[in-house]
Amino acid sequence: MNHIVKIISLAACLNLILATRTFAGPPFSTDDPEPVDYQHWESYLFASGDHGGSGYTINGPAVELNYGVMPDTQLHLVVPMMTVGGGGAPTVSGLGDTEFGIKYRFLHETNGWPQIGVFPMAELPTGDADRGLGNGRAWFRLPLWLQRSWGPWTTYGGGGAVLNSAPGQRNYPFGGWLLQRDSGEHLTLGGELFAQGQDTDNDKGFAALNLGGSYKATDHFSLLFSAGHSIAGDEHMLWYFGLYWTW
């Protein structure tokens, strides 16, 4: 735990020198407390990857839907296809686990306070765990997120815990921090440092630096992208590419 606290502290320091502003959450691992506006929708069609050691996992094509069901409250759903392979094992593809969550902002940003919210999620075991496409049991992510904005700049971050009782899996802490900035009307760029603890019986946890952003083509459509690599712990190469719509 002390190791993870040190990593998160380093994340906060690094974000003072990183640049720039994009969508909260995708294309990054760090999320924010700001829900979708009341009675508004947003959707993502995306793919993301995690390549580590001799194996890899690709989530995609995947669909994410968010809806502002009440003021300061967002419903969240992700349904992914999934591909796993490497390490001498055959490549396997199919439906992955389904993600459902509720984001609730309980404090709005003022001159003295950041906005603060929670975003609990449940990963439902819709993927075939025997083929490596799912966890086999429901597991839960319980984070707290904070955000401050000034001019074209926004910074947000936080962390929490994952609870996973599946065989070979472990409960673990996670957290991250991000700084981002608008560069004109269309382009947004950002950087984050994200870390998590040991999530299985066979790994050590990791910290990763990710850079990315978005290109706003219209008021309702954008391209999102990021890529990064671990800088401590287990080896991970991470990437994300997505299409974003809002209405």
Spatial separation of the C-alpha atoms in residues 42 and 103, rounded to whole Å: 14
pLDDT for 2 equals 47
Interval 218-247 mean pLDDT: 97
Q: Is the pLDDT of residue 53 over 80?
A: no
What backbone torsions phi and psi does residue 216 show, to the nearest 5 degrees?
-85, 105
Q: Helices (H) and strands (E) in the chain — how many of each?
A: 1, 14
Query: Over the Cα atoms of the chain, what is R_g?
Result: 17
Q: Is the pLDDT of residue 12 over 70?
A: no
Reported confidence tier of residue 24, pLDDT bands at 50, 70, 90: low
SS3 state of residue 1:
coil
Interval 126-138 mean pLDDT: 95
Q: Is the pLDDT of residue 21 over 60?
A: no
Interval 3-26 mean pLDDT: 42
Q: Is the pLDDT of residue 78 over 80?
A: yes
Reported confidence tier of residue 208, pLDDT bands at 50, 70, 90: very high
Interval 16-21 mean pLDDT: 31
Q: Is the pLDDT of residue 109 over 90?
A: yes
Higher per-residue confidence, 19 vs 62: 62
CB 68 within 8 A of CB 36: yes
pLDDT for 1 equals 46
Q: Is the pLDDT of residue 86 over 90?
A: no
Contacts of 65 (CB under 8 A, 6+ apart): 41, 42, 43, 76, 77, 78
Contacts of 243 (CB under 8 A, 6+ apart): 44, 45, 46, 221, 222, 223, 224
Interval 89-105 mean pLDDT: 96
Q: Is the pLDDT of residue 15 over 60?
A: no
CA quadruple 23, 26, 29, 31: dihedral sign: positive
Q: What rounded mean pLDDT belongs to the chain?
A: 90
Q: Is the pLDDT of residue 10 over 80?
A: no
